[in-house]
Structures are given as structure tokens and as C-alpha cells.
Amino acid sequence: MTANQKDCYHCGEVIPARREVTRHIDGKKMSLCCEGCAAVAAVIHESGLQAYYKKRTARPRPVDESTNYLPQAFSEIFDDDSLCAQLVESDGEMSVAHFIVQNMHCPTCAWLIERRLGALPGIQEVNVNFRTQKLSLRWKQEQLRLSEIVDCVQGLGYSVVPFGRNAYLETIRAQNQDLLKRLGVAGVFGMQVMVIAVALYASAWSSIEIAYEELFRRLSLLLALPIILYSAAPIFAGAVRDLKQKSATMDVPIALGLLVAFVASLSATVQSAGEIYFDSIAMFVFLQLSARYLEHGAYRRMTDRISALTAATPSYANRMSDSESIDSVEVVPALRLQVGDFVLTKPGEAFPADGTIITGRTDVDESILTGESDVIKRDVGDAVFGGSVNVTDAVVIEVTNRSDESALAAIVRLLERSNANKPRGRRLTDMIASKFAVAVVLIATVVGGFWFWFGSPAWLAHTIAILVVACPCALSLAVPTALTATINSAAKHGILLARANAVIALANADTFLFDKTGTLTENRARLASIELFGACSEDDALRIAAALAQHSDHPIAKALTSAQAESIAMAQEVRNIHGGGIIGDVDGSTYRLGSSDFIESKISGPSPRLTSVHTGLVTYLNRGEHTIARFHFDNLLRADAKELIAWLDRSRIHLALVTGDRKSEADRVGAELGISEVHWQCSPVNKLDIISERQKSGRCVAMVGDGVNDAPTLATADVSIAPASAQHIAKVNADVIILEDQLNLVAVARDIAQFSAKIMRSNTVWAIAYNLVGVSLAAAGFVPPLAAAVGMSASSLLVVGNSLRIMSYKPKLE
């Protein structure tokens, strides 16, 4: 047999021996790894969209594998009128519907779906947002049924889940638009105010006629009106709210400064005497709103990801009206399931709701709940959880909990609680602001009183100048601009900062806890060693085991076949025995491959060899009654795990490994990476306890994890980090998501965060210093409006410029 490895034309994976599928596409013979990939490749070429293969920047997963986890062929359900009415908004002629598209890998996927759907009749508008994974459609329903659209997207190898309107997300979007409108108005009118301000300042050197000066002053007032009444409205609303709650934040001193400046300028304009500050007002409102708009954008990105998560639970179920009759199956939306309904779940499907098995037995992959990759056997009477995946056999379950109340939903709720309780560092600037407001008012009163007492005619002008100069413009920008720059800079390195306020915690973290499976190790099993018991060479044992393993999709079997990619023997009469292993004939003898239970049940009397200590993942190969080999497996360490741990160790960070796995595995990984503190067999609750203990002793804890079981832990830690391969739910809870498959980006994230924290500190110190000096000068009566405007702008721009240094920062990793 030749070692002729081929890669799948569609997904690029190595095609397993003897599984090659060949198709003639565009006159060329293509090799593909599965029927799914073949079908998708054919559709893409037929639609003339083969440019996809040239331009994509990430490869998809094999189609058969990736669509397994969702119910197949459920598109006809969309012909159901009542369901359609829930999902589609129609204005008579045009219909609008939204979906979440899963399995998108790069922006080219979005392009592919848009092109393909755009070519269908009746489609008027199609928009795929790669970032939020949302597909929005406007089309004529009489020309094209919803089911045909779903079929079309599935035909390209993606899974689509209908996504009804979500009131919460709509609110976020509306807020974003509202903020942008106010910002735009402040920008347009602010520019006009500035132009006029220049003319007025120039008049100080070359006098202009009084009539024109009057005109310009009134014009400034007119142009400033939309800014103060419309654009600045949220600032005033925030200040009023804070005052009512007696919790002064940044809004209070800002609103105070704006109000004083505007009222003074208004009265000066009307009385044709005194100073006007309209230019300062315009500039200030514009800078404020810009910072808020950028902050809100980061918040919106986070909620978009949560919406993608809610779509990750299966939406359809095979309901049986009679638990005995397979003919009574009908496909219904999972949300319509009631307690007591019978549901048929086929291998590869996720359970649509919590339930109890009433017919059949199977292996269940509960990794979405527990985070560990081992499958668990479930028999009649056992409970299964919504969202976990049925791996081997079809079973019928009786629903015990509606799908929206299923375990997964329960975890989501748990997370919401953890988030609410999370000890978030109150924003430093808010704390300063609350004291600031009081101090400024006191100073202004004292100084105003002082000038009045000494009979200065300019006492009011001086008091106003103090209040205007004290407006903490630069201070209010100090942190938000640095955070926004940090988010952008991190994104360039492949790090998503989901929660901006985690930056400071990440910079301060002195303890890093790591989950093992999927975080420090890869999720796949790897053949570690072979133990031989009979007169059989290692090569032969592996060759025979791989021959049997070819007939199974179990992760262990895949590890065996990939260890022996070439010259796999042929196995005949192969049977997959439930819950144990594979029996088959290779080279004329019958072999069994499987767990010790499986092997022992087939031989008479216990074999002394098999009672030895059970460590790690093992599989046995038997010929007749003799065990000839024992295979040991482990999870591969990520390539850069060692580098990361060493780097963190050098930075004098306390490290610990926290895993749900066995002691032996945990110790092995700990020893290999040099982590001395290892906690094994931890439940999510144990993990939470470990974190709270550290937090109580005053440590700032960073948690790195990827599973659903890590999710509550991630939410409780001061800062949490999840790799891109993490479960959705873990990612939703993570403050930091490593977008590329590189673990040492954790170190990069920390380095950027530390630099960012340094910038924030210097920004804050500078802004406070500016305000102190400004207020002192104003108190002495040295600050005319021009100086106030220039000072404010200059101090704000300095803060912005300092923050921009983060954008060009190069992380130092030695």
C-alpha cells in the first residue's frame, strides 16, 4: 500500500484511508473526505462561486462532522405557517427574517452565503454579518419559501438557526444609533461654532464692527442650541440620575461645567456684554460623546456574542406522539416541547431538552456541560441534559424539563448571577469625580465670595471661569480612550477584549489558574505508548488495532488510525459492540479492541494483567482470550503551553492547574509544564471555591479555561481568559478571548494590559494636574475664554495622544 496522503478539496483535512470520495467537478477529478464536503463543493462550483476557495483565510471543518451536531433536514418545518409567523415579519409584499449562521470561519464565508442567496429569485436584500454571525433577509415570500432559503444555506455546509427578534439586542442597537446621531449633530454644529469663535477671537486684535460681533455671538448661540439641547441631553440626564441616587459620577461635574458655561454665555449674548464659551461647550460635548460612542461599541460587541450563544442550543426535536411507534415522529420546534413529551434523538443530535431515557441506551457527550471530552454511558432511566450530544445510538427520552428551562439554560442563568455579583473595580475616575464635583463647587463659592468681598466687578466672571475650567474634560477621556486603544491594539494581535474593564484586572493579576483539557492541552487524544503482552510486535499490534479502529468514530479510535495513517490492514466481519469496543477479523484471526470491561466480559476468568493500576486512557487489544497489547493515550500539550508557563513564572506570577481530570493526568501535565500546584477532579463548585479562597486572601485571580464547567469560574475570577476553541458559553463569560490558536497570546494580552494600565495612570495624573493648575489660575482671574478653550482642547488632545501610544505598542516577550 502506498503512503499517498491526500487533502480534502473542500475542508483541507487529510482524507482517512479508504474513505476518499471522488467527484468530477468542473471537469476535474476532486478528492474529498466525506459526502458532505463533496456535496458542498459541487454546489459552490455550480453557483460559480469557486473564488471562495482562493480567497478564504480559514478552512472549514469536514461537513459531515460539523453538521452532525444539529438536526438534519429540518428545513420543511419552516413551511409551517404558525412557525413562519413567529419568525418572519411581513409588510404584505416584503418579508424580513433573521438567522444565526453557525460554522462560519472567515469573511469569505459571509460573502459565499450572500452571493448564493442573492442569486435566488425573490430575494431583495441579503446581509451576512460575519462578526455577529447574523443573516438578515428581505424577500418576497410568495416567490421563495423560508424552507428553500434554509436548504440553500445548509447546502453550503453551514447550519442556520432562526433568530427571532430579541428585545434586548434591539435596545442596544437603538442606543448605539441614538448616541451616533447625537455625536453627529454635535460634530456638524460644533464645527460652525468653532469657525465663528475664530472670527471672534481675531476681533481681539483687529476690531470688527459691533454689529457684526453681535451677529456672530447670536449665531454661536443659535448653533450651540442643538448641541446643548439634543447632543448633551444624555449627559444631563445622567447627572440628574446620579444626583437622585446620591452617587456622584463623572456626569455631575461635567453637567455642572456645561450648564454654567452655557447659562453664562446665554446671558452674555442677550445682554451683549461678558464672555461666551460656546466653542468650549461644542468641543467638549463632541469629545465626550465620541468617547461614549466608542465605549458603547465595545459593549455591543459583547452582547452580539451572547446572542450567538443563545442560538447554539438545538431548536428542533423529533417528537413522538406514541413512544412505541417510530412512525409517529414529527419534527417540532424544541420550544414547543412540553414536559411528558416523547422525543427521538438520533446519534449525532443534541438532546433538545432535559429528559429521562425510556428506550435504548447510548453514549452521551456532555462536554458542553462538563467540559471534559470523555463520553458517558446512559441507560434506560438515566437522565440526559439538554444541549449534550447523543453519540452512538438512537434513544427515546421523556421530557422532564422544558427546553428553555433545561440545564444549559440553567447554566446561562447561573452566569448571569455570577456576572451581577462580580466584584468589579469601580472606575477610578468616577471615584475622583464624586469628590471633584464637591471640591469645585466649594472652591468656586469661596473664590467668588472672596472677589465679591473685595468689591471686584469681575467676581462673577472669575467664578464662571473656575467652573468652566474645572470641567473634567481630559479626566473623563483618560480611561475610555486608553481602553478603546487597548481593545484595538489587542485585536491586532488576535486577542479579543470582551470586557474593557478587565484590562486593569489583567494588568494586576498575580495568580493565574489554568484548566487543563482544551486549554493547556488539545482536545484530541494521542497515542502515547503501547504495552505488549504476547508474541506480537508493536507494529503489528498497531496495524491490527488501526484496522479495527477505522470502523469507529470514537476519539480513541481516531487517535489509533491517525497514529497509523499508512498501511492499515483490512478488517472483515467488523461489529461495533455497544459500550465497549470493536470485534473483527484481521489476517484470519478474530480480535477485540476496547475497554477492559469489554475485554474481560468476553474471556473466561479475570486476566491478572488487566487488574493492574488503571492510569489514563487505555484500550486493550485481544486475540481470542489473550490480551496482546495495551494502548495508552494522553492529550497532547499545546505547542506553546510551556513557553507561556515559563514566561508567567518569570514574571513572578503564582500558577496553579485546576482540572476535572484524574490525578495522574493532572500530575503529568503539571510536571511537564513546571506547575507545582495541581488540583485534580475539581467540580465547577470546587473551582469556584479555589478562586474565592484566593480572592479572600487579597489576590487578583486570572482564570484560563475553555469548557462549560469553567464558565461560572470564568465569571467569578477577576479576569478570565478563554481560547478560541472554547465552548460558546465559556467564551461568553470570558473577559479576554484568544482568537488564534496560540496559547502564548495570553502573555501578550497581559503585557498590553500592563502597558495600558500605565497609560491610564499617566493620563489620570496629567488630567488632574491640568484641572488643578487651571482652577488655580482661574481663581486668580487669569483665564479668559480663549485660554479656557485652548487649555481644554490641548489637555484633551494630550490625553488622546498618550492613549494612541497603546495602538503602536509592541509586546515585549523575552
Partner 1 sequence: MEILYLLVPMTLVIAAVIAAFFLWSVRSGQYDDLDGEAHRVLMDDDEVESHDQ
Binding site for partner 1 (CB under 8 A): 48-51, 54-55, 107-108, 110-111, 115, 127-132, 173, 176-177, 180-181, 184-185, 188-189, 192, 195, 209, 212, 215, 219, 222-223, 226
Q: How far is the CB of 27 from partner 1 (least distance, A)?
A: 13
Shortest distance, position 195 Cβ to partner 1, whole Å: 8
The least CB distance from residue 220 to partner 1, in Å, is: 11
> How would you label 481-509 residue by residue, b for 16+ Cβ within 10 Å and e otherwise?
bbbbbbbebbeebbbbbbbbbbbbbbbbb
Q: Which is nearer to partner 1, 131 or 609 (CB)?
A: 131
**Within a 13 Å sphere around the CA of 169, how many CA atoms are in the beta-carbon half?**
16
By C-beta, is 215 or 794 nearer to partner 1?
Answer: 215
Output the nine-digit C-alpha cell for 468: 468652566
Rounded Cα gap, residues 597 and 143, in angstroms = 59
Q: What's the min distance (Å) between Cβ of 380 and partner 1? A: 49
Q: Residue 247's Cα: distance from chain center in Å?
A: 32
Partner residues linked to 140 by β-bridges: 94
Pairing verdict, β 362-365 and 389-390: antiparallel
Count of C-beta atoms within a 10 Å radius of residue 510: 15
Q: Toward partner 1, which CB reaches closer, 491 or 807?
A: 491
Q: Which is nearer to partner 1, 119 or 339 (CB)?
A: 119
Compare residues 90 and 177 and give the one whose CB is closer to partner 1.
Answer: 177
Q: How far is the CB of 171 from partner 1 (least distance, A)?
A: 14
**In the complex, minimum distance from the CB of residue 54 to partner 1, in angstroms, rounded to a whole number:** 7
Distance CA 803, CA 814 (A): 25
When the beta carbons of 95 and 406 are compared against partner 1, the nearer one is: 95
Residue number, 209 or 327, with CB nearest to partner 1: 209
Q: 219 or 302, CB closer to partner 1?
A: 219
Amino acid identity of residue 439, one-letter, is A
We find the least distance from the C-beta atom of residue 467 to partner 1, in angstroms, to be: 28
Q: 536: phi > 0 → left, psi -120 to 50 → alpha, else beta; which? A: beta
Q: What is the DSSP string of 478-526?
A: HHHHHHHHHHHHHHHTTEEESSTTHHHHHHH--EEEE-IIIIIEEEEEE
- Quick one: cell of 310? 443563545
The string over 66-89, giving b where at least 16 C-beta atoms fall within 10 Å of a residue's C-beta and e elsewhere, is bbbbbbeebbebbebeebbeebbe
List own/partner pairs for 48-53 with CB under 8 A and 24 or more apart. 49/112, 49/115, 49/116, 50/26, 52/108, 52/111, 52/112, 53/9
Q: How far is the CB of 108 from partner 1 (least distance, A)?
A: 7
Helix (H) or strand (E) holding 223: helix 210-226
Measured at the alpha carbon of residue 665, what is the angle toward residues 549 and 583, in degrees to the nearest 5? 20
Minimum CB separation of residue 181 from partner 1 in Å reads 5
Closer Cβ to partner 1, 128 or 507, answer by number: 128
Closest CA to 522 of 369, 741, 748: 741
Residue 492 Cβ, how far from partner 1 at the closest point, in Å?
A: 14
Which CB sits closer to partner 1, 127 or 267? Answer: 127
Amino acid identity of residue 684, one-letter, is P
Provide the minimum distance between the beta carbon of 228 and partner 1 in the complex, in angstroms, as a whole number.
15
Cα distance between residue 508 and residue 731, in whole Å: 21
Q: Which is nearer to partner 1, 80 or 213 (CB)?
A: 213
| Residue 85 or 191 having the CB closest to partner 1 | 191
What are the E-state strand segments in 662-711?
677-679, 701-704
Query: Closer CB to partner 1, residue 147 or residue 176?
Result: 176
Given a contact cutoff of 8 angstroms between Cβ atoms, the answer to whether 126 and 136 are in contact is yes
Cα distance between residue 349 and residue 338, in whole Å: 19
Whether the CB-CB separation of 361 and 383 falls below 8 Å is answered with no
Q: What is the CA radius of gyration of the chain?
A: 33
Q: State the nearest-atom distance from the C-beta of 754 to partner 1, in Å.
A: 28
Comparison of 231 and 390: residue with beta carbon closer to partner 1? 231
* Phi and psi, residue 351, nearest 5°: -70, 130
CB of 167 to partner 1, least distance (A): 17
Q: Which is nearer to partner 1, 169 or 541 (CB)?
A: 169
Q: Least Å distance between CB 162 and partner 1?
A: 20
CA torsion, points 368, 369, 370, 372, in degrees to nearest 10? -10
Residue 374: all three cell numbers together: 470523555
Indicate the SS3 state at residue 145: coil
Closest approach of partner 1 to the CB of residue 51, in Å: 4
